[in-house]
Structure 1
Amino acid sequence: MLLRTFGWSFAVTVLGLAFAFWAWGWQGFAIVAILSVLEISLSFDNAVVNASVLKKMNAFWQRIFLTIGILIAVFGMRLVFPVVIVAVTAQLGPIEAVQLAIDDKARYEELVTAAHPAIASFGGMFLLMIFLDFIFEEREHKWLAWLERPLAKLGRLDVLSIVIALVSLLVAATTVATNVPGAGDKSGTVLLSGVAGLLTYLVVGGLSDFFEGRLEEDEAAADEAAEKQAADAAKTGRKPQSAVGLAGKAAFFLFLYLEVLDASFSFDGVIGAFAITNDIFEMALGLGIGAMYVRSLTVYLVRQGTLDDYVYLEHGAHYAIGALAVLLLVSIQFHINEVITGLIGVVLIAASFWSSVVRNRRLGENSSSKGTAEVSSGV
């Protein structure tokens, strides 16, 4: 199971590090390895949240997530995305932007870093909406019950998460965005990008929720239609036609949601990678290897049913997302070390995992005590 799920990640790691050593020597080897670890540490919570969505998909869409999805994640977000940022901000053509990234790495890094306020605002708002919608939803299991119970009651107001997100955006635009080091006042840019991030979440998330909500109704209708077709075919002797359900549309929009989610998580990784290297190929290779492990870990969590066994893991991951959203908005003006960002996510997920283990032990002990009592009373 482990080798089947992580096999491609192991293979890509070996080939990627071997190529890094061949192309750039030991220094390149070390840079690629460090970037891989950085990406994994920053995106572990991403894998947990991805798993909560991916488990709703069938095996076909899980394969799409691992194939087409990884191409988008590695080549799209880790290689093409920074070049597109440079092309847009510097008003260059794509070829000129690539040449700039290769020939003038310092200028390339400067342009990507200058776009950080817009990137952080977009990603921060998207991630903040994910956290708010989770924390305001009534759930069977509650990790921090003293906090989650009253918030779930407040969540009965459907627009509350949007209101809080917009207020947070206004606060960011009028505080940290007014004096960005080396860029001055970026309030307008932050507001525009933040609204774009919010709209992206509402559109993609809304469509996926809509189709997912109709899926159960359409499955019942498809079963009824299949039974009718089978009955008609038995009478006429014709072969029954296959019923077409809505699962494909639902899975497609969930896939888009996952890709936008991955993009939001990758923003801080791409920007943070410039602290280690400004070579776009080293960056893409190192972050790409890390992205492979995040994808494989997502599938592993789904196939093992880990989220069902450790019920607070999803809570910890969403709290980590909320923390990352706040850090992204703060990072518009203040530099935040990537180690801090990664450690916050790791600590929250580790705490939620341990709470799940304690809960499972307690339930096991209660079951054993109940069984013993029943046997004693029977005797």
Structure 2
Amino acid sequence: MVGGIAALVVGHSYTGTIRGAFKAWFIALVLSILEISLSFDNAVVNALILKKMTHKWQHRFLTWGILIAVFGMRLVFPLILVGVLGHINPIEALKLALFSPADYAHIMMKSRISIAAFGGAFLFLVAMKYFFEHRKEVYWIHSIERPLSAMGRLNAAEIAVTLFTLYLFSRFQMPSEQMNFLAAGIGGVITFILVDGLSEFLNSSGQGKHIDLNRTSMSLFLYLEVLDASFSFDGVVGAFAITNNLFIIMIGLGVGAFFVRSITIMLVEKNTLHQYRYLEHGAFYAIGILAMIMFVGTIKEIPEVFTGLIGIIVIGAAIISSIRYNARNS
């Protein structure tokens, strides 16, 4: 309700008409639905990690995390990005968003390929690390997962596959964009290695004495925030195809982010992941597919509707498979 009222106010302030206010409200609604459809798999992965955290850090993820997600990624990040690309400071970028939204959107869209490469590389590594885990005992699609799990015995196999994938897609970029694509993609890989490495360090540093759950939870919190940011890249850039008003984008995507957090809480409290054996697998398949869509999207435009639906379809298939498994083994 708060988001709807805010959208009406923003729409009316820009157009001065009731029609403009309701148009802004409708766009915010569309963007919130888009964010939910794109981030449903994110909610599942969030729940997987959240249940390993202490209650205090769970609360921080649901409070600090939502502030970072809404204001950090949907408002501050685009302003900084436009400032860097347009060689202006963030205040000037804000003025551009307020008084010249078309120019602001144009600068933002110029960064589409670099953002897709960074976010795609990070998400691809998240998925690959899951499927390359050689100690896995549960498989959903055996013909795919068993060979990948066996490959996981090779150290850093997921990094090699991701770098090779980046190289392949860089060959299809315009010559002027190839280095930008590779640099941004390698940045995503390095970010994953640093965040994952920090998590491993904090998890292992207490072994032999006692495990510091607060330190472990803090590392998982950092991992979740970077993961959330990678998921939001696609939505933030895609939103500019619907409207060039930064504040309507922030409201619409912010409402969607709140809803995704609500799904995450429900999954944790209802212990849904334990009840549905293959839901975790479905989420990581959806993440891998989203990463590939981000890569392909740098070459050929892909409708946001397809991007949102494919994740829901994959997770739905995982839930149906889990129900069938439970019925067979009841």
Q: TM-score range by the shorter chain?
A: over 0.9
The root-mean-square deviation of aligned C-alpha atoms, in Å, is 1.3
Give the aligned partner of residue 183 of structure 2.
192
* Preserved CA contact (<8 Å) 2:10 2:248: no
> Are residues 1:250 and 2:209 paired?
no
* Preserved CA contact (<8 Å) 2:82 2:108: yes
Give the aligned partner of residue 228 of structure 1.
none
> Are residues 1:165 and 2:156 paired?
no
Counterpart residue identity of residue 95, structure 1: I
Please point out which of 298, 303, 318 is paired with 1:352. Answer: 318
Write out aligned runs for 1:70-81 (5 A).
Answer: 70-81=66-77
Report SS of the residue matched to 1:158: coil
Please point out which of 284, 306, 319 is paired with 2:272. Answer: 306
Give the aligned partner of residue 26 of structure 2.
30
* Preserved CA contact (<8 Å) 2:82 2:104: yes
Q: Relative to structure 2, which stretch is displaced further, 326-335 or 41-50?
A: 326-335
Give the aligned partner of residue 289 of structure 1.
255
* Preserved CA contact (<8 Å) 2:121 2:188: yes
> Are residues 1:20 and 2:7 paired?
yes
Counterpart residue identity of residue 289, structure 1: V
Shift of 1:211: 2.3
CA distances 1:265-297 after superposition (whole Å, capped 9, x unpaired): 001100111121111111100100000111121
Please point out which of 81, 84, 91 is paired with 1:88. Answer: 84
* Preserved CA contact (<8 Å) 2:54 2:214: no
Report SS of the residue matched to 1:332: coil
* Preserved CA contact (<8 Å) 2:279 2:319: yes
Give the aligned partner of residue 203 of structure 1.
194
Shift of 1:209: 2.4
Give the aligned partner of residue 15 of structure 2.
none
* Preserved CA contact (<8 Å) 1:272 1:338: yes
CA distances 1:14-61 after superposition (whole Å, capped 9, x unpaired): 111123224422111111111111100000001111111111001111
Give the aligned partner of residue 17 of structure 2.
none
Matches of 1:213 and 1:356, distance apart in 2: 33
Please point out which of 100, 107, 117 is paired with 2:103. Answer: 107
Shift of 1:333: 2.4
User: Do the aligned partners of residues 32 and 251 (structure 1) sit closer, same or farther apart at CA in structure 2, a change above 3 Å counting?
Assistant: same
Counterpart residue identity of residue 247, structure 1: L
Shift of 1:250: 1.3
Write out aligned runs for 1:1-379 (5 A).
Answer: 14-24=1-11, 25-137=21-133, 138-175=135-172, 177-178=173-174, 185-214=176-205, 217=207, 221-222=209-210, 246-364=212-330
- Structure 2: gaps of 5 or more residues: 12-20
Matches of 1:305 and 1:347, distance apart in 2: 21
CA distances 1:78-121 after superposition (whole Å, capped 9, x unpaired): 11111111000011011100001111111111111100111011
Report SS of the residue matched to 1:191: helix
* Preserved CA contact (<8 Å) 1:66 1:296: no
* Preserved CA contact (<8 Å) 1:62 1:299: no
Displaced runs of 4 or more, over 4 A: none
Counterpart residue identity of residue 86, structure 2: A
Report SS of the residue matched to 2:329: helix
* Preserved CA contact (<8 Å) 2:10 2:247: no
Counterpart residue identity of residue 190, structure 1: F
Matches of 2:198 and 2:91, distance apart in 1: 35
- Structure 1: gaps of 5 or more residues: 1-13, 180-184, 223-244, 365-379
Give the aligned partner of residue 233 of structure 1.
none
Matches of 1:107 and 1:50, distance apart in 2: 35
Report SS of the residue matched to 1:186: helix
User: Do the aligned partners of residues 248 and 349 (structure 1) sit closer, same or farther apart at CA in structure 2, a change above 3 Å counting?
Assistant: same
Counterpart residue identity of residue 290, structure 1: G
Matches of 1:267 and 1:335, distance apart in 2: 16
Counterpart residue identity of residue 119, structure 1: I
Matches of 1:103 and 1:28, distance apart in 2: 17
Report SS of the residue matched to 2:88: coil
Identity %: 46
